[in-house]
């Protein structure tokens, strides 16, 4: 089979050798989108990462495609409806970074709560004043966990170790986990009203896009902290800017933002054929405003990025491809 691997690092190229001499594997550093998809028209299997955009325009240029083996848990960068209509199988990596992402949540939270970035920058300049650096401890604070899948439950486990009180919200409640870990399920409105820290762990779906907007920020405690390591579009970024500007929120720790590809390469919005609209521009401006808030810490979609997690990602991706080749696809996702 012809296999195209996108956003591939050198160590990943070496790993794909495992697929054997019978597979024609082409690894490239570039991401896949409608601008370069025609260059890979022979591909029967595509393995993208999070920066590729497999929309209908890109997929239409891949007539032989049978499998998309995304090296990620999320798959909102893939047009599921188009794939379903063409019979293209999609496999993901559902379980690779529970601890990895959960630990990053607390890296962001502690950095915001203890003003670590400002403190480090001061001492590097030879200033050892503590003025303006007073933080708060996590013990006995209420953390509200939105989404209690694998990552959300690991966050709760860590939070309990810090001595935090935990409440959670999820449409699918895991009562056994609630009993085991000692937390209570509440409505989203109650969680927002009671939590000192709100951390998001839900996928990007039509039901979660814009989950936190002006109404939800208005319900939050004054001085609360928002952590988002899930998907950028879950938060209305303009509403977040307003909540930070008027002091409603103490701060935010963000590993994801809407329109991340535009942030990485702002010149892309002027590319011939680009479909950037007014909403994209507004999100891009809001994102750049967020980057200038001193009480906001933004990391570049890096929560997953540890040696152990990356090894699990590549191992599962290779297993997904091998399973598909045997006629027994695994870790299959669908549009429904």
Catalytic residue among 18, 260, 312, 322: 260
Q: Is residue 233 flagged as an active site residue?
A: no
Catalytic residue among 104, 231, 233, 250: 231
Q: Is residue 103 flagged as an active site residue?
A: no
What's the token pair of residue 282?
């507004």
Catalytic residue among 53, 201, 233, 301: 301
Strand partners, 166: 143
Q: Is residue 301 flagged as an active site residue?
A: yes
Q: Which residues are catalytic?
A: 231, 260, 301
């Amino acid at each position: 089979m012809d296999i195209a691997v996108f956003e591939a690092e050198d160590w990943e190229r070496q790993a794909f050798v495992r697929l054997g001499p019978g597979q024609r594997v082409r690894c490239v550093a570039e991401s896949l989108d409608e601008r370069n998809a025609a260059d890979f028209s022979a591909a029967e299997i595509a393995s993208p990462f999070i920066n590729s955009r497999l929309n209908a325009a890109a997929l239409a240029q891949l007539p032989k495609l049978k499998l998309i083996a995304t090296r990620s848990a999320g798959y909102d960068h893939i047009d599921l409806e188009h794939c379903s209509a063409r019979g293209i199988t999609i496999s993901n990596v559902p379980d690779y970074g529970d601890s990895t992402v959960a630990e990053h949540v607390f890296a962001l939270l502690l950095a915001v709560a203890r003003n670590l970035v400002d403190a480090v920058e001061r001492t590097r300049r030879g200033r050892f004043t503590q003025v303006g650096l007073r933080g708060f401890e996590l013990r006995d604070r209420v953390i509200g966990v939105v989404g209690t899948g694998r990552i959300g439950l690991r966050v709760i486990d860590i939070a309990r170790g810090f001595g935090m009180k935990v409440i959670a919200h999820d449409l699918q409640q895991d009562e056994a986990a609630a009993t085991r870990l000692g937390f209570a399920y509440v409505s989203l409105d109650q969680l927002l009203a009671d939590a000192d820290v709100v951390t998001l762990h839900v996928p990007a779906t039509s039901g979660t896009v814009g989950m936190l907007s002006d109404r939800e920020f208005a319900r939050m405690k004054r001085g609360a902290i928002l952590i988002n390591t899930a998907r950028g579009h879950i938060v209305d970024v303009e509403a977040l800017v307003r909540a930070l500007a008027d002091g409603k929120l103490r701060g935010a720790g963000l590993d994801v933002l809407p329109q991340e590809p535009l942030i990485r390469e702002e010149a892309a919005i002027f590319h011939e054929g680009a479909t950037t609209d007014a909403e994209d521009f507004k999100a891009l401006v809001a994102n750049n405003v967020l980057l200038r808030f001193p009480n906001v810490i933004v990391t570049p979609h890096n929560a997953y990025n540890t040696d152990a997690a990356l090894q699990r990602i590549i191992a599962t991706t290779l297993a997904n491809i091998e399973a598909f080749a045997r006629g027994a696809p695994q870790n299959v996702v669908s549009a429904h």
